């Protein structure tokens, strides 16, 4: 008999259970060839005596190895080392062969995308001028954690966790109906609401339901570049329509509709991206008439409707008589200021049902916990209170940013004070290279985009979206000081 007392050492002070230590060591002895296939091991009572352990510990170790196919229980004979061991023998490679080095060996459809500009990584960068994001430091984190904890501790949590559908939780869709009716004037029911993982998913789903290869789609010029990329990936041919101080050129939209079969229009009526302009009332009225006349499907992206400072926001097209042609999209990601991806799509009920079926091909359902937590925060007024507080702070930061840009950068930049949103459309003098500005700023601890994404598919703008909301007064002062030192 082998000296198992010497071969198997156990330590009761370890966190790993003793039976698992025995099992692991026996596996090692089998792999080392000490215990050959077909060899019978000592009975559990005998091995327990040798190791000075309780017999149940040895039985547990044997059972573990039998379940893993290392050992086989032979009736009336005992436990034997398996003859067909579950050992994956390493393959010997010659040379520098590797399965995942270099390019794929098969063709695939590459997604056309562009970098968001600026240095490739913001790691260790103390200051960042982003595209227009909220300040996570102001997020209602305590309220969010409280709601999540309450839901998890609820006896109903297992049902919330396991069940759901692709349109989103019933509770959140009901709260969204109430909230959007009160804030946007929408006449909807929960059947018209779909919850998505951010507005970008909603844009893709809506477009994928409408667009086929070589379809014409009208977009602004400039436009939200990820929307353009999405439509192009789906095979669309983009018609770029100018955007000026009154918003997208509605006359140009009408001409395009009269000359070509337009499959879809994408626009941002409120705080257009990237220019921040709002579509004028006169153009809205004419556009609604065009939409009804041509039965033109429209994706109305209203990504930051909740943030306005100078006056009350203009109601979206979706709230007017559009003949059932407008798909209204928004997001709570910016409202919350958390890394919670929750967006929404408002559309006719049959379109929502179809989009839900499409969504299931890549995402069976949303985040039930997050959706229920948001529903509760909407119901008790937490979100509305947070938005009021945030709007006050962001307005102060907007005003400070505009003052600093005017007084410190002077004629080097041009901008119009935005009525809302979280960013300023900042255009630089043609003498200033944004690429070089971005490179120099990086060396001074400031990450700033080179602005290339903002003129995707259109003429260069030499401008950036200066996201001010996520920077406090001290940080804004330092950011502008760095820009001034480079430009001077």
**The listed CATH number (3.40.50.2300, 3.40.640.10, 1.10.579.10, 3.30.1330.60) that belongs to domain 140-380:** 3.40.640.10
* pLDDT of 267 over the 80 cut: yes
- Mean pLDDT on 451-467: 89
Q: What local confidence, expressed as pLDDT, does residue 119 receive?
A: 41
Domain 4-81 listed as CATH 1.10.260.40: no
Does the pLDDT value for residue 214 go beyond 70?
yes
Residues of the chain with pLDDT > 70, as a percent, come to 94
| pLDDT at residue number 84 | 83
Q: What is the pLDDT of residue 310?
A: 77
User: Which pLDDT score is estimated for 168?
Assistant: 93
Give the other-Cβ count within 10 Å of 282's Cβ: 10
> Given a cut of 90, is residue 375 above it in pLDDT?
yes
Distances (CA, A) of 240 to 216, 219, 250: 10, 5, 12
Can you list the pairs that 205-209 forms with residues at least 24 positions away whose Cβ atoms lie under 8 Å? 205/345, 205/355, 205/358, 205/359, 206/299, 206/327, 206/329, 206/345, 206/347, 206/355, 207/231, 207/234, 207/236, 207/264, 207/266, 207/299, 208/234, 208/358, 209/351, 209/354, 209/355, 209/358
pLDDT band per the 50, 70, 90 thresholds, residue 404: very high
Q: What is the average per-residue pLDDT within 475-480?
A: 96
Which region among 47-51, 242-246, 311-315, 340-344 has the lowest average model confidence (pLDDT)?
A: 311-315
Residue 396's pLDDT is what?
97
- pLDDT confidence of residue 282: 93
Q: What average pLDDT does the structure give for the chain?
A: 89
Q: Where are the alpha helices (DSSP H) in 260-361?
A: 281-294, 333-336, 349-359
* Residue spans per domain, the chain: 4-81, 127-133+385-487, 140-380
pLDDT at 88: 52
Measured CA to CA, the distance from residue 480 to residue 474 in angstroms comes to 10
| Percentage of residues in the chain having pLDDT higher than 90 | 71
Q: Tell me which CATH code domain 127-133+385-487 carries.
A: 3.90.1150.10
pLDDT given at position 123: 53
Reported as a single tens digit per residue, the pLDDT across 269-323 is: 999 999 999 999 999 999 999 999 999 999 999 998 889 887 777 889 999 999 9
State mean pLDDT over 389-396: 95
DSSP code for 101: S
Average pLDDT score over residue span 417-431 = 94
Query: pTM here?
Result: 0.78
């Amino acid at each position: 008999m082998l000296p198992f007392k010497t071969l198997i050492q156990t330590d009761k002070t370890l966190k790993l259970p003793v039976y698992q230590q025995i099992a692991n060591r026996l596996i090692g002895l089998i792999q080392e060839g000490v215990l050959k296939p077909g060899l019978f091991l000592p009975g559990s009572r005998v091995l327990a005596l040798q190791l000075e352990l309780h017999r149940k510990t040895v039985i547990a170790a044997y059972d573990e190895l039998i379940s893993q196919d290392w050992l086989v229980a032979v009736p009336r004979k005992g436990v034997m080392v398996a003859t067909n061991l579950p050992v994956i023998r390493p393959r010997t490679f010659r040379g520098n062969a590797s399965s995942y080095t270099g390019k794929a060996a098969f063709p695939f459809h590459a997604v056309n995308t562009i970098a968001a500009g600026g240095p490739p990584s913001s790691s260790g960068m103390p200051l960042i001028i982003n595209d227009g994001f909220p300040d996570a430091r102001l997020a209602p984190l305590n309220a969010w954690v409280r709601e999540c904890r309450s839901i998890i501790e609820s006896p109903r949590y297992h049902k919330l966790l396991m069940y759901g559908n692709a349109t989103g939780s019933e509770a959140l869709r009901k709260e969204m109906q109430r909230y959007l009716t009160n804030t946007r004037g929408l006449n909807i029911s929960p059947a018209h609401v779909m919850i998505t993982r951010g507005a970008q998913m909603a844009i893709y789903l809506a477009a994928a339901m409408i667009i086929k290869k070589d379809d014409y789609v009208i977009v602004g010029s400039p436009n939200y570049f990820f929307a353009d990329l999405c439509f192009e990936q789906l095979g669309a041919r983009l018609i770029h329509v100018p955007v000026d101080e009154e918003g997208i050129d509605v006359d140009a939209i009408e001409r395009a509709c009269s000359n070509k079969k337009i499959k879809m229009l994408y626009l941002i009526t409120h705080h257009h991206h990237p220019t921040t302009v709002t579509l004028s009332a006169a153009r809205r009225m004419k556009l609604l008439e065009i939409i009804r006349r041509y039965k033109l499907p429209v994706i109305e992206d209203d990504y930051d409707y909740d943030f306005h400072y100078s006056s009350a926001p203009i109601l979206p097209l979706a709230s007017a008589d559009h003949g059932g042609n407008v798909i209204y999209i928004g997001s709570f990601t910016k409202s919350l200021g958390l890394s919670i991806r929750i967006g929404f799509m408002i559309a006719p009920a049959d379109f929502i049902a179809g989009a839900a079926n499409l969504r299931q091909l890549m995402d069976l359902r949303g985040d039930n916990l997050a959706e229920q937590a948001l529903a509760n925060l909407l119901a008790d007024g937490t979100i509305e209170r947070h938005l009021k507080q945030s709007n006050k702070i962001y307005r102060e930061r907007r005003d400070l940013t505009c003052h600093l840009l005017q007084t410190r950068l002077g004629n080097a930049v041009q901008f119009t004070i935005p009525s809302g949103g979280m960013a300023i459309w900042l255009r630089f003098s043609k003498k200033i290279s944004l690429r070089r500005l971005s490179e120099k700023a990086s060396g001074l601890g400031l990450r700033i985009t080179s602005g290339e994404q903002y003129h995707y598919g259109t003429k260069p703008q030499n401008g950036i979206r200066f996201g001010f909301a996520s920077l406090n007064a001290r940080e804004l002062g330092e950011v502008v000081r760095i820009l001034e030192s480079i430009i001077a």
